[in-house]
Structure 1
C-alpha cells in the first residue's frame, strides 16, 4: 500500500492573506502525499497553518492567494472553478469541521441536511436520499436513526453532532476525508469513540484520511505518517513510530516533552516550550524556531548565527526529513 500512487499530492503550497499590516504567508512551500487507505496526521500549535492547509486542499479560501499544486487522483485542483470544485467536494473529498454545531444548519433536521448531499451528487429522489441519510446515521452509531433523522442539531449532544458530521461527510462515499480537530471539544470517552469510528470506516471503505490535530495522543492512535508544522512550514515528516521513537527536530521533541507522563510525580509541573510562535507578518530570515530552540541556545556562536540567519530546508534520511541545521537523528549528535 505504501508504494501505491498517492491519492492526494500537495507540492509547494503557498497560502498568503493580504492584511492592513501587510501580507501574511500562512502556509509556506508545503509538500506532502496521502496514499490510499493511509492516515496522515498534521500536528502543530495554533497558528502553524494546519487548518489553512486543509481549506486550501478543499478550495474553500475566498480571500487568500493560493499557489502551488494540489492534485486529487492526478487531477489538479488549484485554479479549478467553483462549479468544478463543487462536483468534487462531498463526492471525492469531504471534510469534518472542528465545531459541528456551527457547521450544521439550525433550521433543518439532520436527516434533511445529510440527504441534501446525496441528492446533489447522485440526483436521487427525495425519499431515496432520506433513506440513505437514515442508513448513514446507523453506520456511524446513532441509535434509532430513523427517529433521530427527524430531529434538529440542538437536540443532539456534542459527540452525537460529531457523528452526524461524519455521516454527512461520508454519505457520498468519498475517497479522501479531512478531519480538522474532530475531537477537540469532546470528553476523553467520546473522543475515543469518534476516533474508533473513523478508523473503522476507513478500514471498511479504504479511505485516505488527513487528521489535523494538536493532540499527539490522537496522532499516535490513528496516524500512519506524521507531518509536523511550525510557522506555516513543515519541520518534520516521518512514519508515526519513527517520529515518536526518535524525533529529529527540536520542536517535535518539545511537543513530545509537553505530554504528561504516567511516571511523573503528582505535583510535577507541566513542561512547556518557552516563548511564543513566530510572527508571520515579519518572518525571521533563519529558522523560525531558533528563538525557542534549546539546541540553538547552547550551541557555538557559529551554529547560533547559522540558525538565526539561514533558513533550513526539509531534508535528511529518506522517509524522515527534518527542517533543522542540526537534527537529532538516532546515532547522530545534534
Structure 2
C-alpha cells in the first residue's frame, strides 16, 4: 500500500534474462513498498531472485529485460536514462554489496574511493571530499579514521571492509539503502556490530533499508516487514512479528522449522527442506513449491492436482497475503 511515508514502491517487477537454452524469468511480477525509517527484509534460498530484485531497483542490470514500475520518492526509475540513474545512485539510493573486497578497488586507498563518490555527486573540491571521507569513516566506527583513510582495502579485516562499504554507501546521505547479504562470511560478533551500525544510522537519518538475506535470525533482529521469495516470486508478505508467530505459506514454515531451536535436544538433527528449488528455465505450471511441500504428502488427489497445475495468486488477509491454495492462518487451515 502506498502511504505518504512510502519512499520506494515496486509493482509488477519482472526481470528476464536471455540464455542459449531459453529465457529465464528470474523475477516474476514482484511488488512491495518500503517506508522511510523502516526495514524490509527479503528472504529466500539462493536463486530465489533476491539479489536480482535489488539490482533491478538500482538499475544495474545489463543484458536483461526489466519491466514493471519502480517508484523512488514519486519518481519512476524503470526506463530512466543511464545518466539520470547515475545521478540518483549514491545520492538518493545506495547499495552495500555481498563481498566488500571485490567491491573496493585494490589500487586506490579507501579514502580516495569515498572522496571520489562525494565529488561526483556534490562537485566538491578534493580537500572537502577527503574531509568528508574521514568523517564518514569515523561515523561507521573505524578507529583513527584520518590515518586509515590512507590505507588500501587489503589492509582492513573483513568486518572493517564492510564498514568502509557502509561509509561509502552513506557518504552522500541517500534516502534508501539496499544491503545485499551485508554480514555474509562475518563471525557472529562482527555481524552484530554491523547490524547495530546500520540500525543506528537508520534511526538517525530516517533511512529506508532493504535487507536481503537468507538468514532468518538477521531478519528477526532488524526487519519491520518481511517479503519471502521463492522461484522468483513473492510467496508471503507480513510484518515480522506476524510472520514468525504464524507463517501462512508452507515454504515460510519450512524455513522457520529448519532453524536450530534452543529447546531441542542436543542430538536433534536439523530439519532440512527436501528437494531443490525449481528451474527457472522450465518453471512448473502450478505452485513452484509443490514438489517440496510437506502439506501434499499423503494429500487427496484433488488437492495435489490443483497445487501442481494451478498457479496460486498472492492473496489473503490485508497485510498478510500468501501465494498458496491452502494457506494456514493462526493455525487454522483455510
Give the TM bin, normalised by the shorter chain: over 0.9
Provide the rounded CA distance (Å) in 1 between the counterparts of 2:5 and 2:309.
Answer: 37
Name the SS of the counterpart of 2:143 in structure 1. coil
Name the SS of the counterpart of 2:328 in structure 1. coil
Provide the rounded CA distance (Å) in 2 between the counterparts of 1:5 and 1:264.
Answer: 42
Aligned to 1:18: 18
Q: Is the 8 A contact 2:39 2:224 kept in 1?
A: yes
Matched, 1:283 2:283: yes
1:78-97 equivalence runs, <5 A = 78-97=78-97
Q: Gaps spanning 5+ residues in structure 1: where?
A: none
Aligned to 1:170: 170
Matched, 1:319 2:319: yes
Name the SS of the counterpart of 1:298 in structure 2. coil
Name the SS of the counterpart of 2:332 in structure 1. coil
Per-residue deviation, residues 23-69 of structure 1 (Å, max 9, x unmatched): 00000000000011110000000000000000000000001000001
Superposition CA RMSD, Å: 0.9
Aligned to 1:148: 148
Alpha carbons of structure 1 residues 65 and 119: separation in structure 2 relative to 1, 3 Å: same
Provide the rounded CA distance (Å) in 2 between the counterparts of 1:237 and 1:333.
Answer: 18
Aligned to 1:197: 197
Q: Is the 8 A contact 2:175 2:208 kept in 1?
A: yes
Name the SS of the counterpart of 1:288 in structure 2. coil
Q: Is the 8 A contact 1:6 1:73 kept in 2?
A: yes
The 10-residue stretch of structure 1 (34-43 or 298-307) with the greater mean CA deviation from structure 2: 298-307
Name the SS of the counterpart of 2:41 in structure 1. strand
TM-score, structure 2 normalization? 0.99
Q: Is the 8 A contact 1:275 1:292 kept in 2?
A: yes
Provide the rounded CA distance (Å) in 2 between the counterparts of 1:26 and 1:331.
Answer: 32
Matched, 1:31 2:31: yes
Provide the rounded CA distance (Å) in 2 between the counterparts of 1:87 and 1:222.
Answer: 29
Provide the rounded CA distance (Å) in 2 between the counterparts of 1:178 and 1:5.
Answer: 18
Provide the rounded CA distance (Å) in 1 between the counterparts of 2:221 and 2:263.
Answer: 20
Name the SS of the counterpart of 2:6 in structure 1. coil
Name the SS of the counterpart of 2:142 in structure 1. coil
Per-residue deviation, residues 225-253 of structure 1 (Å, max 9, x unmatched): 00000000000000000000000000000
Q: Is the 8 A contact 1:4 1:36 kept in 2?
A: no
1:1-334 equivalence runs, <5 A = 3-333=3-333
Provide the rounded CA distance (Å) in 2 between the counterparts of 1:44 and 1:148.
Answer: 36
Q: Is the 8 A contact 2:96 2:169 kept in 1?
A: yes
Name the SS of the counterpart of 1:7 in structure 2. strand
Q: Is the 8 A contact 2:285 2:309 kept in 1?
A: yes
Provide the rounded CA distance (Å) in 1 between the counterparts of 2:299 and 2:112.
Answer: 61
Per-residue deviation, residues 158-201 of structure 1 (Å, max 9, x unmatched): 00000000000000000000000000110000000000000000
Per-residue deviation, residues 74-108 of structure 1 (Å, max 9, x unmatched): 10001011100000000000000000000000000
Provide the rounded CA distance (Å) in 2 between the counterparts of 1:173 and 1:83.
Answer: 20
Provide the rounded CA distance (Å) in 2 between the counterparts of 1:39 and 1:98.
Answer: 18
Structure 1 runs of 4+ with >3 Å offset:
2-5
Q: Is the 8 A contact 1:106 1:152 kept in 2?
A: yes
Q: Is the 8 A contact 1:11 1:29 kept in 2?
A: yes
Number of aligned residue pairs: give it. 333
Provide the rounded CA distance (Å) in 2 between the counterparts of 1:236 and 1:299.
Answer: 22
